[in-house]
Structure 1
Amino acid sequence: MNVPDFEFIAYIDEAGDPSLKRVRPIDDKGGTEWMVVSAILVSRDVDPKLKGWVAEICQAIGSQHNQVIHFKDLTVEQKLAACNYVGGLPIRIFTVASNKKNMRRYRNERAERVHSRQWFYNWLVRILIERMTDWCWRRVQKFELQRRHVKFVFSQSGGHLYSQTAAYHELLRYQSQGNIHLRKWIPRREVMNMNLVEAYPHWKFAGLQLADIAASSFYQAVDNLDTGPCDVQFAKALAPRLALNTSGEHRDYSLVLQPTPPWEADISADQKEVFEYFGYDFTRPIWAK
């Protein structure tokens, strides 16, 4: 097995579920309205410090006897303290938030032909990979780094087949060399390798617990069904760590809203707040009217 040396590690977690058959609030009972996938991206040199940082977070929120963070189980004050701490760390955060109402009962026939059982989840991960690998490749070039690859570590979740995710990862790398269906963003094959895709339980790595903080923070910013009214304070506290594109923007880079364009998204004013904070404009332009 050819496993290249790597420079970056991306820890990936999610909030919400990928179910599309029934979607609330269209259906009284069904899947979550939103699915959020977030990544914490760190350099290899920084990675050994993550465990100590999580221990410090636990101490700061009065949970030092439990060294595993489950964001949903924290009080509001503990959540904000954790996010303020993460907002000061030398990491980068990427998030994709999909409002699933427009995807209700949608079928991806292309994915079905290759027997993909989790195409929607993989599609959201793909959006993350496109942005993260762009950021990593820019950094490799800027600092002339000897190592360049990204290791992707997923938080294990019931129902996902990570062997499929690894295979999809390799497909993206192959497609990026030539014909690819979504041309706006292309995964940077220079930093990708399917042998650098792993999955572990949430408790096993501090990086996955930090990814949980990110995913859950943005989920609470957009969800008003399961977690109460939308609460943007946690996501805002993470703002200093969201990556910037070459134009100095977060929009459609470290925070991605689906569906696109934003004015087509059927979401409420309180759900728009976090996206507007990170640069989104929901005004429908004249040419689109």
Structure 2
Amino acid sequence: MPSVSEPYEYILYIDEAGDDGLARIKPVDPNGASEWLVIGGFLTRSNYEAKAVDWVKDLRVQIDATQGPALHYRKLSPTKKDAACLYLAGLPVKAFVVCSHKLNMKGHQNSRAAIRNGKQWFYNYCVRLLMERATEMCLKDSLKHFQRPRSLRVIFSKRGGHSYPQTKAYWEILKRQSAGGTTLLNKREIRHQVLRFNLVDYVPHEQNAGLQLADIVASAFFQSIETSSQRWETRHAKLLEPIMAKERNVVADFGLALQPTNPNELKLSDDQKAIFKHFGYTTL
């Protein structure tokens, strides 16, 4: 990982579960992509960054998952998943999750977004939703405690097929739009006061302990909504409730964001609605 010379107050680890394919989607297409794309991660202060390694080592010993170079949530048994979520829920972190129901966008093409963001416009948009919420929390916290914006470091779990420079380029476009007052879909905006592009890294999962913890967040929520999977279970995600980020004391649409946001566009089963209702969505 490249060294960082600029100081920062916060650090955000981002991982994903599912994929961003829109052409063929389960369960409509048996061999299609996942029904959901989940972007998840957790935010903590920079003084805890070094402790992430100890957190992962301690967790792996506690749940007897010490084989292999890294912790992988999907490989854990249900009881070990419970223990992993409970462990993470006790740490000084805040979790953010964006869940996009892809069946509502099956086959959709956004030509204008594709021009700006290349082939991964959908992934970039979902990441944007998470960044809007995480940077909002950082800005409010830094103004409260330091009377000025403090910087945020962002570390992505590097996946094949993604161009992370495209993601940063998209953020640059949003920054210009924000400055010019031309932002589309401007219910929220990324708070660029705390975002520094030179503090954004893309690191393999195995090489960063924080990303292995972010995997718990993303995967637990993916498991709670991908009901076509034999591993569907809401219990693990519910265990993360103590660390879910809140706005005005509500998790819904902040710590947990559902896309599309208009309930009339969603055709979810009762099982799929369960986790969202648990965290405060009342109009599903």
TM-score normalised to the size of structure 2? 0.94
Q: For 1:1-289, what aligned pairs fall within 5 Å after superposition?
A: 4-66=6-68, 68-114=70-116, 116-144=118-146, 148-177=150-179, 178-226=181-229, 228=230, 230-245=232-247, 247-283=248-284
What SS does structure 2 have at the residue aligned with 1:22? coil
Shift of 1:66: 4.2
What SS does structure 2 have at the residue aligned with 1:154? strand
Asked if structure 1 preserves the Cα contact closer than 8 Å seen for 2:149 and 2:193, the reply is: no
Aligned counterparts of 1:54 and 1:14: Cα–Cα separation in 2:
18
Aligned counterparts of 1:230 and 1:274: Cα–Cα separation in 2:
11
Asked if structure 2 preserves the Cα contact closer than 8 Å seen for 1:99 and 1:259, the reply is: yes
The letter of the residue matching 1:254 is G
Gaps of 5+ in 2: none
Q: Per-residue CA shift, 1:56-106, capped at 9, x if unaligned? A: 110111123545210000000111000000000000100000110011111
Q: Report sequence identity in percent.
A: 40
What SS does structure 1 have at the residue aligned with 2:40? strand
What SS does structure 2 have at the residue aligned with 1:31? coil
The letter of the residue matching 1:112 is A
Shift of 1:248: 0.8
What SS does structure 2 have at the residue aligned with 1:59? helix
The letter of the residue matching 1:170 is E
Gaps of 5+ in 1: 284-289
Asked if structure 1 preserves the Cα contact closer than 8 Å seen for 2:13 and 2:155, the reply is: yes
The letter of the residue matching 1:189 is H
Q: What do you get for the CA RMSD once the two structures are aligned? A: 1.7
Shift of 1:230: 2.8
Moved over 3 A (4+): 64-67
Aligned counterparts of 1:207 and 1:201: Cα–Cα separation in 2:
11
Q: Per-residue CA shift, 1:200-239, capped at 9, x if unaligned? A: 100111110011000000000001223x153111111111
Asked if structure 2 preserves the Cα contact closer than 8 Å seen for 1:55 and 1:67, the reply is: no
What SS does structure 2 have at the residue aligned with 1:257? strand
What SS does structure 2 have at the residue aligned with 1:195? strand
Aligned residues: 280
Shift of 1:116: 1.3
